[in-house]
Amino acid sequence: MEYQFDWVDAFAASAFGGNGCAVVHDGAELPAELCMAYVRETSLVECTFTGPSDVADIRVRYFLASREIPFAGHPTIATVAAMRSRGMTGDGSLTLETGAGIVPVTVSGTRVTMTQIAPQFGETVPPGIVAAVGSISPDQIIAPPQIVSTGLPFCITVLRDRAALEALTFDHAAMQRLATHLGQTGTDLMEPFWVIQDGATEAGDTYARLLLAPPSPAEDPFTGSATGAMAAYLWSHGLIGRPDFVAEQGHAMGRPGQAQVSVLGPHDAITGVEVGGNGVIVMSGTVHFP
């Protein structure tokens, strides 16, 4: 079985920045085990597989190395950028059918902006349990960690400063304790999304990291879904003064990424989060599935 693919760096100003995603066109009907094997083959965090939809312009399935997930941010940017490069869409609006619902997207040149669904705010987590996952002291956390989802849940955790962010080291046993506290099983983990209220560069307003459990790579260069959840958290808790800001991630990894973020609605009634960035085609070709 042969399928066309595009390897795209999302939220990147140029190739080899941001977060890579391989987009397999017309592969949405492939078995899940084959899709996960492909992700492991690429050593990427996520890949997407597209197909026709009865309810949107296109259907998109999102896979990690270990499981299918309902939605992911940087693969959405990558998928639409790949479609545009092949003439499948142009500037304007389109909709994606995802496991998290219909995701509206707008395209303007190389910039792709997705509107993530209204946030769901889950339980708050004791700082000590979360801090242990990053091997830091609980006093480095300056706001209550909370589970937030705009399509995919994360434990949003605000740190004191860049030194705390850079000191993070993933503790697998502590992650399992967090998962147990949240009632999670298997590989369906809600990892902490660590963020500070200062950019990696002068252009940024926030800077974040996401450390991952195996079989995924150790760290995600840029996480669009978590960025949306983080934006909703900061706005709802009054930790940012305006709903529009620039989010940065991946700079310490040598893969700088940047997104334009807009939280929609008032603090107590957020209706969605817009997250936009560039998608850069790195390579294209044919994948040969067994």
Q: What is the pLDDT of residue 211?
A: 97
Residue-wise pLDDT tens for the chain (290 aa)? Answer: 999 999 999 999 999 999 999 999 999 999 999 999 999 999 999 999 999 999 999 999 999 999 999 999 999 999 999 999 999 999 999 999 999 999 999 999 989 999 999 999 999 999 999 999 999 999 999 999 999 999 999 999 999 999 999 999 999 999 999 999 999 877 678 999 999 999 999 999 999 999 998 889 999 999 999 999 999 999 999 999 999 999 999 999 999 999 999 999 999 999 999 999 999 999 999 999 99
Element (H, E) at 82: helix 73-85
Report whether the peptide linkage leading into residue 215 is cis, meaning its omega lies within 30 degrees of zero. yes
Rounded alpha-carbon distances, angstroms, from residue 281 to 25, 72, 204, 247, 276? 14, 18, 24, 22, 16
Which DSSP category does 159 fall into?
Answer: B
Q: What is the pLDDT of residue 185?
A: 78
What does the angle CA 132 – CA 221 – CA 34 come to, to the nearest 5 degrees?
100
The tokens describing 96, both together, are: 């994606």
Q: What is the pTM assigned to this prediction?
A: 0.95
Q: What is the pLDDT of residue 17?
A: 97
